[in-house]
């Protein structure tokens, strides 16, 4: 499997597009772990170029039914790329039937730094730029010490804006995943709790019913998220039921 993983990385590094390889793949192959590779593209032109490069390559297939549907939507230019669909969009390919490859359109990013600055864990803040063929590493020594911290380059961690915690919480589950891979992510979970506490203390000064209702839902849901985080910190274990509840409450925000 490691040979297939390395072959895919080597192939991707030959491509010339506005994008970068990042995520856990930059930490090296992890024996016994389900590991994929992420390629972030900065605009739809680059995403389209990469998509068709893979789509017409016999080494790549799309196995998941949802991913096939997203692929069809994008190829036919139906809903996937319309003007109302912004932010992060993904399609998952499988290389040689064994290594998953996520191609990601991240419209609000223009370079490798802006991609890394959106992550929560400093541990994974490593990227290979497909244009410059250079590496960018903002992870410090976390991959050596195996002690992760919150990403100081991510503005959402230091923002006083009330909805900042909602934007970053979608990445929380990664803390539990990397703990299972042998990394200490306690500091990041504690930072999430700190952000949630700030949201809990926020008192609205606006008369907007829509704003106040949204705030109420966010405060109620993040309180449950905080409780799950505290339980995890005490035992470093999390059940499938807790993960499912976490996903529901974060999605509702």
The string of pLDDT tens digits covering residues 215-243 is 899 999 999 999 999 999 999 999 999 99
Each residue of 140-199: pLDDT tens digit? 999 899 999 999 999 999 887 878 888 899 999 999 999 999 999 999 999 999 999 999
3-class DSSP state of 40: strand
Sheet (strand 37-41) strand order: 60-61, 88-95, 99-106, 37-41, 19-22, 126-129, 135-137
Neighbours of 123 (CB within 10 A): 28
Separation between Cα atoms, residue 79 and residue 88, nearest integer Å: 14
pTM: 0.87
Q: What 8-state DSSP symbol labels residue 132?
A: T
Q: What 8-state DSSP symbol labels residue 147?
A: B
3-class DSSP state of 78: coil
In terms of C-beta density within 10 A (0-12 exposed, 13-18 middle, 19 or more buried), how is residue 132 classed? exposed
């Amino acid at each position: 499997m490691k040979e297939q993983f390395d072959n895919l990385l080597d192939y991707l590094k030959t491509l010339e597009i506005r994008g970068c390889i990042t995520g856990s793949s930059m930490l090296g192959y992890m024996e016994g772990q389900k590991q994929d590779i992420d390629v972030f593209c900065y605009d739809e032109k680059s995403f389209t170029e990469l998509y068709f490069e893979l789509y017409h390559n016999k080494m790549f297939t799309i196995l998941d039914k949802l991913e096939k549907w997203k692929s069809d939507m994008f190829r036919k230019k139906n809903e996937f790329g319309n003007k109302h669909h912004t932010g992060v969009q993904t399609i998952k390919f499988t290389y040689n039937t064994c290594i998953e490859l996520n191609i990601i359109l991240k419209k609000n990013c223009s370079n490798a730094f802006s991609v890394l600055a959106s992550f929560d864990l400093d541990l994974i803040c490593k990227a290979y730029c497909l244009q410059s063929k250079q590496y960018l590493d903002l992870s410090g020594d976390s991959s050596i010490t195996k002690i992760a911290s919150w990403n100081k380059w991510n503005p959402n961690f230091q923002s006083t804006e009330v909805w900042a915690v909602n934007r970053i919480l979608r990445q929380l589950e990664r803390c539990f995943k990397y703990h299972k891979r042998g990394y200490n992510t306690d500091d990041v979970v504690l930072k999430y709790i700190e952000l949630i506490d700030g949201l809990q203390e926020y008192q609205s000064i606006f008369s907007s019913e829509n704003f106040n209702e949204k705030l109420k839902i966010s405060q109620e849901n993040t309180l449950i998220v905080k409780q799950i985080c505290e339980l995890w910190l005490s035992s470093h274990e999390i059940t499938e039921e807790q993960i499912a509840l976490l996903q529901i409450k974060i999605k509702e925000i």
